[in-house]
Amino acid sequence: MEGSAEPKPSDLLSPEDFTFHYENLKYAHERRKTYLCYHLERLDGDRRVLLDSAVIQNQGSRHVEECFLFSENVLEKLKAPGSYSVTWYLSWSPCARCAQAVIRFLQQHPNVRLRILVARLYFHETRANRAALRALRRREAPIEIMSPEDFAYCWKHFVDHRGEDFQPWEDMDANVDRLAEELSGIWLSK
């Protein structure tokens, strides 16, 4: 990945916020904020050119996915002809409303490929959210559970870690496996 569009230190998550909001707990009580760390790249042959990289959070009633999708900064970068790749690292998976907004965005921007990695599944027991995740998958916006390597990557690129190495939390691996199994169940359900 070429370019120098890494987030400014003032825009990075604190280590405490990252751990609190991205910890992949089975019951993540009191995590009412959603964070989205992203990379926006232009695909130039075999090269990827980093255009933008940032951390955003929900703003009032506007969910974080909507903050990205309707960002003038992002939309301006997508005006130039070419193909683009966007990677999202979300603390929660999209809700039904946001999944529909993502689908509309991808229909309007067929030159954009979106990869979605999530720390936790948002109210995945509800029929609407399960159906929304399946709809995203059908629209080629793959959703994956963040791996320990993904958490370490986010720590390195989106957290003001001040040189400290990423320290996996207790049960991280087991929680990744459990969430991946739950997501597989969503793909198989109707």
Residue 74: closest CA among 143, 11, 5: 5
Angle of CA points 115, 120, 189, to nearest 5°: 80
Residue 98: closest CA among 88, 111, 84: 88
Are 51 and 42 in contact, with CB atoms under 8 Å apart?
A: yes
Out of 16, 23, 41, 65, the active site residue is 65
Clarify whether 144 is annotated catalytic.
no
Q: Which residue has the tokens 């916020």?
A: 17
Catalytic residues: 65
